[in-house]
């Protein structure tokens, strides 16, 4: 973190910033020289202006951003809660795992968005529909991680549980889930990414207010700078949520490291 | 393994389907939203027989072709850049910030942009799939190159190989097993993204066929498509898993599970 660029670390950081600046300069040049049509590629300044306008007072983008974040977080929390609960139920019993696991393996590669038409015909084009698909799609990483984490409890720990005559519930809460924590957390990180993707798709299809709908409308009316502003905001949401979760993961798993 | 063991995986789904059959027949008969599995199976049979644009074969081919082309493009670019960043620590440090800034952009956010640039059809779907598969392949390739035995690289150095020869003769063969793990992840991402693009925008392929079935209030056909998408996804995932294991056996075991 030294400000002097003499240290190797400082130099690497400076170079890293320089590469990003070069990419931005390339964008600037490409849009100003009209290498790519202005219809597709707005100038960086225009994108920045659209961002400032949309996020400033009277702009709509801040509201849309908030809508998308709320949808993503709600769906993610639901998915995590349901995923851990179902995963613990299935993972705690060997019998349940043997009978149900093959079905889960079949459902796992199913694209979350493929459930959307079914959800539309069940719930209509509502925000509840989008939320349910987000929760359903984002549930799988957490569920499978929980099942896997519970199954992978070390034999020694199982013996300890038997020796202490722990009930099955006590085993799950005292040994199983803490043991599965690293798996569950990395599952939750993956499911956050899925949540954002499905939330955006849902907003596009069901015309629910949010960034997904905003960028689709901007593209349809050829307002490229607003489209880019929306993409930038979505990237920022993805970046921020990922970074926050990484910090959270480190804090929660502190006890695991010596 | 006796037949009870072989039948075991089918009991739970069969029970689920039976429950759905009963619920759809007696609780919500003639519903626009749900259809009993027996009707779904019949609708699937009809769709299989159908000719022309909405036939199962055509839609499946479209989706799989777009997914495969997109994956090839994304994987080729990700592989090339990943090898460079993996071989040179300095290049990796230089690219770090740009990658961290661009990577979190959700792939679906590019659907409207791809629509604007390419219109509907193969090209837009391929471009979105390529963007989605590029990042994981870049990251995993970079990690795979880092894990190549340092001694092998020393050998390359001692032999005085050029950077190109070093890459093609030492690094690439050494990382093949890990590469197949990355490719397996890429295949599943490509398929999911292709179907998502069709559901959200592109009027072709399996995802669109499913949307149309829903909009024309044919729940049996819609569920048939959902089932078929599941079968195709499962089959392809199984095939790539087999391929990856076969490669790992031939080229040396890799002691790690694919971590997305």
State pLDDT tens for residues B210-229: 999 888 888 888 999 999 99
* Residues of B in Cβ contact (< 8 Å) with A106: 13, 230, 234
The nearest alpha carbon in chain B to A95 belongs to B8
Same domain for A29 and A111, yes or no, is: no
A204 in the same domain as A131: yes
Check CB contact under 8 Å for A235 and B8. Answer: no
Q: Do A121 and B101 touch (CB under 8 A)?
A: no
Chain B residues touching A23 at Cβ < 8 A? 98
Residues of A in contact with B116 (CB under 8 A): 39-40, 219, 222, 224, 227
Instruction: Please report, for the domain that includes residue A218, its CATH number.
Output: 1.10.3720.10
If asked whether residues A69 and A167 sit together in one domain, one would say: yes
**In this structure, are A58 and A94 located in the same domain?**
yes
Answer whether B230 sits within 8 Å of A112, measured CB to CB: no
Are residues A111 and A235 both part of a single domain? Answer: yes
Return the structure tokens found at B254. Answer: 């890799």
Residues A16 and A144 in one domain: no
* A5 and A131 assigned to the same domain: no
Query: Minimal Cα distance from A201: which residue of B?
Result: B200
Confirm whether A27 is domain-assigned: yes
Between A227 and A5, name the one with better pLDDT. A227
ipTM score for this prediction = 0.87
pLDDT of residue B53: 60
Asked if residue A175 belongs to a domain, the reply is yes
In a domain, A41, yes or no: no
Is A55 within the bounds of a domain? yes
For residues A54 and A92, state if they share a domain: yes
What does the alpha-carbon distance between residue B70 and residue B134 come to, in Å, rounded to a whole number?
A: 9
A contacts of B93 (beta carbons < 8 Å): 12-13, 15-16
pLDDT number for residue A197: 93
The C-alpha atoms of residue B8 and residue A100 are separated, in whole angstroms, by 9
- How high is the pLDDT of residue A3? 47
Asked whether the beta carbons of residue B94 and residue A200 sit closer than 8 angstroms, the reply is no
Number of domains in chain A: 2
The chain A residue lying nearest B190, using CA atoms, is A111
d(CA A142, CA A108): 11
Average pLDDT value for chain B: 86
Q: Do A109 and B33 touch (CB under 8 A)?
A: no
Residue range(s) defining the domain that contains residue A16 = 1-36
Q: How confident is the model at residue A1 (pLDDT cuts 50, 70, 90)?
A: very low
Residue range A69-109, pLDDT digits in tens: 999 999 999 999 999 999 998 888 878 888 888 888 888 87
Residues A119 and A27 reside in one and the same domain: no
Closest-CA residue of A relative to B16 is A103
Within this chain, do residues A26 and A66 fall inside the same structural domain, yes or no? no
Rg (CA), chain B: 23
Residue A4 has pLDDT above 60, yes or no: no
Chain B hits for A107, CB-CB cut-off 8 Å, are 230
CB within 8 Å of B8: residues ≥ 6 apart:
A98, A99, A102
Shared domain for A86 and A201, answered yes or no, is yes
Does residue A109 fall inside a structural domain? yes
B 225-254: CB under 8 A from A: 226, 229-230, 233-234, 236-237
pLDDT at B257: 45
Closest in B104, B110, B234 to A238, CB measured:
B104
Say whether both A60 and A140 belong to one domain: yes
Min mean pLDDT across B31-35, B169-173, B226-230, B256-260 is at B256-260
CB contacts under 8 A, A 13-42 vs B, are 13, 15-20, 23, 39-40
The region of weakest confidence among B1-10, B152-161, B178-187, B212-221 is B1-10
CATH placement of domain B52-251: 1.10.3720.10
Q: What is the 3-state secondary structure (H, E, C) of chain A?
A: CCCCCCCHHHHHHHHHHHHHHHHHHHHHHHHHCCCCCCCCCCCHHHHHHHHHHHHCCCCCHHHHHHHHHHHHHHHHHHHHHHHHHHHHHHHHCHHHHHHHHHHHHHHCCCCHHHHHHHHHHHHCCCHHHHHHHHHHHHHHHHHHHHHHHHHCCCHHHHHHHHHCCCCHHHHHHHHHHHHHHHHHHHHHHHHHHHHHHHHHHHHHHHCCCCHHHHHHHHHHCCCHHHHHHHHHHHHHHHHHHHHHHHHHHHHHHHHHCC
């Amino acid at each position: 973190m030294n400000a002097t660029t003499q240290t190797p670390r400082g130099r690497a950081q400076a170079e890293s910033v320089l590469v990003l600046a070069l990419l931005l300069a390339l964008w600037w040049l490409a849009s100003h020289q009209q290498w790519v049509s202005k219809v597709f590629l707005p100038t960086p300044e225009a994108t920045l202006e659209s961002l400032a306008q949309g996020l400033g007072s009277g702009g709509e983008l801040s509201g849309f951003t908030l809508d998308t974040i709320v949808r993503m977080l709600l769906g993610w929390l639901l998915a995590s809660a349901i995923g851990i609960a179902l995963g613990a139920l299935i993972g705690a019993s060997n019998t349940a795992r043997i009978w149900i696991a093959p079905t889960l393996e079949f459902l796992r590669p199913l694209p979350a968005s493929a459930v959307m038409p079914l959800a539309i015909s069940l719930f209509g084009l509502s925000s509840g529909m989008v939320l349910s698909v987000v929760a359903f799609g984002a549930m799988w990483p957490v569920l499978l991680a929980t099942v896997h984490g519970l199954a992978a409890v070390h034999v020694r720990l199982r013996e300890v549980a038997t020796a202490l005559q722990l009930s099955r519930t006590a085993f799950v809460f005292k040994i199983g889930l803490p043991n599965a924590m690293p798996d569950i957390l990395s599952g939750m990180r993956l499911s956050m990414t899925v949540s954002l993707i499905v939330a955006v798709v849902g907003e596009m299809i069901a015309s629910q207010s949010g960034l997904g709908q905003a960028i689709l409308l901007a593209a349809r009316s050829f307002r490229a700078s607003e489209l880019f502003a929306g993409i930038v905001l979505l990237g920022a949401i993805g970046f921020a949520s990922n970074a926050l979760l990484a910090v959270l993961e480190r804090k929660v798993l502190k006890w695991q490291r010596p | 393994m006796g037949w009870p063991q072989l039948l075991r995986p089918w009991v739970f789904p069969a029970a689920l389907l039976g429950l759905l059959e009963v619920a759809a027949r007696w609780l919500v008969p003639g519903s626009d939203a749900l259809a009993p599995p027996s009707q779904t199976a019949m609708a699937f049979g009809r769709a299989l027989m159908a000719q022309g644009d909405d036939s199962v074969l055509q839609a499946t081919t479209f989706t799989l072709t777009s997914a495969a082309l997109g994956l090839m493009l994304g994987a080729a670019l990700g592989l090339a850049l990943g090898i460079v960043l993996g071989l040179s620590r300095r290049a990796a440090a230089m690219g770090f910030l740009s990658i961290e800034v661009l990577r979190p952009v959700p792939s679906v956010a590019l659907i409207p942009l791809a629509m604007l640039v390419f219109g509907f059809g193969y090209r837009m779907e391929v471009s979105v799939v390529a963007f989605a598969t590029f990042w994981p392949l870049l990251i995993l390739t970079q990690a795979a190159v880092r894990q190549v035995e340092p001694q092998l690289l020393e050998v390359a150095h001692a032999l005085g190989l050029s950077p190109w020869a070093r890459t093609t003769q030492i690094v690439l063969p050494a990382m093949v097993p890990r590469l197949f793990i990355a490719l397996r992840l890429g295949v599943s991402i490509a398929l999911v993204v292709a179907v998502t693009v069709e559901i959200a925008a592109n009027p072709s392929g399996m995802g669109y066929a499913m949307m149309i079935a829903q909009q024309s209030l044919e729940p049996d056909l819609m569920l048939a498509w959902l089932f078929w998408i599941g079968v195709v996804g499962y089959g392809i995932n199984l095939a790539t898993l087999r391929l990856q294991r076969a490669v790992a056996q031939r080229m040396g075991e890799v002691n790690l599970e694919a971590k997305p």
